[in-house]
Amino acid sequence: MCGIVGYIGDKSAANFLIDGLTKLEYRGYDSAGIAVFDGNEIFIEKSVGRLASLKEKLKGYTPKGSIGIGHTRWATHGRPSDINAHPHTDCHGDFVVVHNGIIENYMALKEDLIERGHKFLSETDTEVVPHLLEEFYKGDFASAVREVLKKIEGSYSLVFMSKNHHDELICAKQDNPLIVGIGEGENFIASDIPAIINKTRSTYILNDGEIAIVKKNSVEITDKNGNKIDKKIFNVSWNAEAAEKGGYEHFMLKEINEQPKAIRDTMRGFIKQIRPSKNNDERIAKDGSSIIFPELKWNPDFLKNIDKVYIVACGTAYHAGLVGKFYIEKLARMLVEVDLASEFRYRDPIIDEKTLTIFISQSGETSDTIAAMKESKRLGAKTLAITNVIGSSLAREADQVLYTIAGPEIAVASTKAYTTQLILMFMLALYMAQLRKTVSEDRTRELISLLKKIPAQISETLSDVDPIKTFARSYGFNEHVFYIGRSLDYDVALEGALKLKEISYIHAEAYAAGELKHGTLALIVEGVPVIALATQKSVYDKTISNIKEVKARDAVVIGIAAAGDTELEKYIDHVIYVPDTDELLIPLLTVVPLQLLAYYSAITRGCDVDKPRNLAKSVTVE
């Protein structure tokens, strides 16, 4: 996630750009930059770090010019640095571009452009865009932009500025947000409403495939072929604070709702479609799919021959690790240990050069996780970081890194980071399984095709929250809640209980359902809420028996089941259904109602959802 802005009018572009970027910093804050055109020259300044560093670099200087573009970055390709910060230019500085998204085919495009003599400065995917524009430009700016858009694959919101066209900016959208704010004698472009809300409330919210040609007195919207689109003006009614949260009441709710996109972005590039080959190779001709990890530079023989995997993390990331263990053991048939980072480093772990240690951390700055990684390296293991923050301490320390592309997570309670961590762990396990030939090609294809449906299935789950709200209102004032499940349902139950504890301050415990009668059943009395997950088909009957045990003690049991389950509702008070999928993938769906349950319980109790007491987003002390 990055924030982009553009201005064209009679006033100072720079003033709007800096102000707009300040409002968009929640979308990304590892570097920032602006480009301002005075009709002759384009002035560009960029800086690694938060916007304050850019302002510091400008030292109070306001570049002259009434047309300009700006960017606040959350790195996806290329670490945060001055050079990688946007805007990016072509070889001669004639075209300037800011971008939010991922150009998936940038490597091939870049190689081609280099062969044609283009000089690249950064490690970003974005830089191919201005160079392509330079290639296609024959005097008609809009048609060159359309040619560029035909070449690039992936997701983008883009703003283009040209030295040859001092009266227009062009912007385009595909899978990332982009709006045009309509002013009087001036117009604005932004990723999101907060950037423009104190300038205008009249906007065009662009749809995928739309291009806007923005001049100071007009906005023309077309499709990718240049056909005009008659678009309705959208009048913004939110206040500035609500706008920053995309109209949601809290960042947590916004981030829960961002999960389909975060998962799509994280999967992007790792699933390879195998197309029918010319030589009619039967295996390839089946038009299947496989997982690829171009980022992993280890020799595949190392991954094939590892004899043990450790997954190390804290909190929610640790819970993602538990699911990861299940995936790797089940699919790649390798022994996996999962450890809390604060424990791992002090217990003399048994590690050698055939051990792979995986460290999961949203922030990449959790002190215990970083220290555990250092210890692991000292003992000779190979280290892999899974993190959401490019250039974070963990990413810098690791031998290899895989990134979740969840965008900045602002709410203290982690939601979209967890589901994207699960996705990466699943794909990594399947990748290892491919290398070790522990899963058949048919099963791989089946899992990948189900994996691709997950974002839409999460959206479906998010579309019906009323039963969850009702349940939260009825039981949100209980002091104790229990979560039970077996197998992967138990791992998700642990995460559900943590979510409820940390934001609603309700005492919540998760138990492996089969463990209840070894002690915990003593706590189950009349009226105690029990959330029972029953989606794991391989242990379904056993879970049902455990659910009957708690129901027999008059607990109020709310079940989480897969659509099509007609059994569970016979025994309990209420069932929340999620779409059906393979039992390996269903944690990505069952966690969503649990996140929402925690959220609405916290609301019911009047808690500060985004900033729960005693907690910080990133724990940088031991």
Residues lying near ligand F6R in the complex (CB under 6 A) are found at: 314-317, 361-363, 366, 369, 413-414, 498, 502, 618-619
Cα dihedral angle (454, 460, 465, 467), rounded to 10 degrees? -100
- Name which of 212 and 314 has its Cβ closer to ligand F6R: 314
Residues in the chain: 622
- Name which of 72 and 362 has its Cβ closer to ligand F6R: 362
- Name which of 413 and 447 has its Cβ closer to ligand F6R: 413
CB of 224 to ligand F6R, least distance (A): 39
- Name which of 191 and 369 has its Cβ closer to ligand F6R: 369
Whether 607 is catalytic = no
Preceding peptide of 87 cis, ω within 30°: yes
Q: Decide the pairing of beta strands 308-313 and 355-361.
A: parallel
Picking from 141, 125, 124, the residue whose alpha carbon sits closest to that of residue 133 is 141
Residues 6+ apart with CB under 8 A from 454: 263, 423, 581, 585, 588, 589
CB of 223 to ligand F6R, least distance (A): 41
CB of 326 to ligand F6R, least distance (A): 18
- Name which of 180 and 411 has its Cβ closer to ligand F6R: 411
Whole-angstrom Cα distance, residue 234 to residue 177? 14
Picking from 221, 228, 220, the residue whose alpha carbon sits closest to that of residue 207 is 221
CB of 410 to ligand F6R, least distance (A): 11
Question: Cα-atom radius of gyration of the chain, to the nearest Å?
Answer: 26
Query: Strand 400-403's sheet: what is its strand order?
Result: 336-340, 308-313, 355-361, 382-387, 400-403
* Number of neighbouring beta carbons within 10 Å of residue 260: 20
- Name which of 81 and 369 has its Cβ closer to ligand F6R: 369
CB of 366 to ligand F6R, least distance (A): 3
The string over 368-381, giving b where at least 16 C-beta atoms fall within 10 Å of a residue's C-beta and e elsewhere, is bbbbbbebbbeeeb
Closest-by-Cβ residue to ligand F6R is 315
Catalytic residue selected from 11, 469, 542, 617: 617
Cα dihedral angle (197, 203, 207, 210), rounded to 10 degrees? -120
- Name which of 190 and 481 has its Cβ closer to ligand F6R: 481
CB of 95 to ligand F6R, least distance (A): 38
Half-sphere exposure of 188 (CA within 13 A, CB side): 31
The enclosing H or E element of 192 equals: none
- Name which of 155 and 388 has its Cβ closer to ligand F6R: 388
CB of 314 to ligand F6R, least distance (A): 4
CB of 49 to ligand F6R, least distance (A): 20
Q: Which of helix, strand or coil describes residue 552?
A: coil
Catalytic residue selected from 2, 171, 314, 607: 2
Whole-angstrom Cα distance, residue 382 to residue 615? 32
Q: Contact 548/614 with Cβ under 8 angstroms?
A: no
Whether 437 is catalytic = no
Q: Contact 612/413 with Cβ under 8 angstroms?
A: yes
Whole-angstrom Cα distance, residue 104 to residue 329? 31
The catalytic residue positions are 2, 617
